[in-house]
Chain A
Amino acid sequence: MAANSYGLIATFETVPELYHAAEQVRDAGYRNWDCITPFPVHGLDKAMGLKRSIVPRISLAGGITGFITGMSMIWWTGAVDYTLIVGGKPLFSPMFAFPVSYELTILFTAFATILGMFFVNGLPMHYHPVLKYDQIRRGMDDTFFIVIEASDPRFNLANTKSLLAKAGGKAITELEP
Chain B
Amino acid sequence: MAHAVDHAVPTPAILREVNPAVLPRAVLVENNRSFSWITEKICGIIEAKTPTWWWVCFSLACFVASFTVAGIIYLVATGVGVWGHANPVNWAWDIVNFVFWIGIGHAGTLISAILCLLRQKWRTSINRAAEAMTIFAVVCAGIFPVFHVGRVWYAWYLFPIPNSNVIWQNFRSPLEWDVFAVSTYGTVSVLFWYIGLLPDLAVLRDRFFAAGNTFRSFLYGLFALGWRGSNRHWSNYEMAYLILAGISTPLVLSVHTIVSFDFAVSLLPGWHTTIFPPYFVAGAIFSGFGMVLTLMLPLRAIYGLQDLITQYHIDCMCKITLATGTIVGYAYGMEFFIAWYSTNPYEGFAFVNRAFGHYAWAYWVMISCNVITPQFFWFKSVRENTSLVWILSIFVNVGMWFERFVIIVTSLARDFLPSSWGYYSPSIVEIFTFFGTFGVFSVLFLLFIRFLPVMPMAELKAVLPQADVHGGRGLNDKH
Interfacial residues, chain A to chain B (CB-CB below 8 A): 14-16, 19, 34-45, 47-48, 50, 52-56, 59, 63, 73-74, 77-78, 81-82, 84, 86-87, 89, 96-97, 99-100, 102-104, 106-107, 109-111, 113-114, 116-118, 120-121, 123-128, 130-131, 136-137, 139-142
Contact = CB atoms under 8 A, between A and B. Distances in A.
Contact of B188 (A73, A81, A110): A110
26 contacts: A16-B471, A19-B469, A34-B230, A37-B229, A38-B229, A40-B458, A43-B469, A47-B469, A55-B243, A56-B239, A81-B168, A96-B172, A99-B261, A100-B180, A103-B251, A106-B248, A107-B187, A123-B226, A124-B225, A127-B226, A137-B209, A139-B229, A140-B206, A140-B229, A141-B203, A142-B34
Most chain A Cβ neighbours within 10 Å, of B35, B225, B239, B469: B469
A35 B228 CA distance: 10
A100 B177 contact: yes
Interface residues of B, number: 70
B53 interface: no
Nearest to A44: B231
Most chain A Cβ neighbours within 10 Å, of B7, B169, B231, B468: B231
B191 A110 contact: yes
Interface stretch (B134-142, B348-356, B396-404, B459-467): B459-467
Contacts, number: 214
Contacts of A40: 231, 234-235, 237-238, 458, 462
Given A19-B470, A34-B232, A39-B458, 9 more contacts: A16-B471, A48-B231, A96-B171, A99-B261, A106-B250, A111-B191, A114-B191, A124-B226, A142-B34
Most chain A Cβ neighbours within 10 Å, of B4, B34, B168, B171: B171
B4 to A, nearest CB: 6
Contacts of B229: 36-38, 139-140
Contact of B466 (A15, A50, A78): A15
B468 to A, nearest CB: 7
Nearest to B192: A110
| Interface residues of chain B: helix, strand, loop or mixed (majority) | helix
Contact of A39 (B171, B459, B469): B459
A99 B225 contact: no
Q: Which 3 residue pairs across A and B have the least CB separation, nearest first?
A: A142-B35, A124-B225, A77-B168
B34 A110 contact: no
Contacts of A124: 225-226
B395 to A, nearest CB: 33
B236 A126 contact: no
B277 to A, nearest CB: 11
B310 interface: no
Given A34-B231, A118-B225, A14 B471 contact: yes
Nearest to A19: B469
A103 B184 contact: yes
Interface in B116-140: none
Given A99-B180, A125-B226, A137-B206, A78 B239 contact: no
Contact of B210 (A34, A120, A137, A139): A137
Interface of B: 4, 7, 34-36, 39, 160, 166-172, 174, 176-177, 180-181, 184, 187-188, 191-192, 195, 199, 202-203, 206-207, 209-210, 221-222, 225-240, 243-244, 247-248, 250-251, 254, 258, 261, 457-459, 461-462, 466-471
Contacts of B261: 99
Nearest to A141: B39
A43 B169 CA distance: 50
A132 B169 CA distance: 53
A126 B221 contact: yes
A121 B238 CA distance: 12
A72 B180 CA distance: 15
B36 A142 contact: yes
Contacts of A136: 206, 228
Contacts of A43: 7, 469
Contact of B231 (A35, A54, A55, A126): A35
A83 B171 CA distance: 12
Most chain B Cβ neighbours within 10 Å, of A35, A42, A111, A116: A42
B417 to A, nearest CB: 21
Nearest to B34: A142
B369 to A, nearest CB: 31
Contacts of A35: 230-231
B226 to A, nearest CB: 4
Contacts of B231: 34-37, 40-41, 44-45, 48, 50
A110 B113 CA distance: 13
B235 A45 contact: yes
A50 B36 contact: no
B193 to A, nearest CB: 11
A109 B243 contact: yes
A88 to B, nearest CB: 11
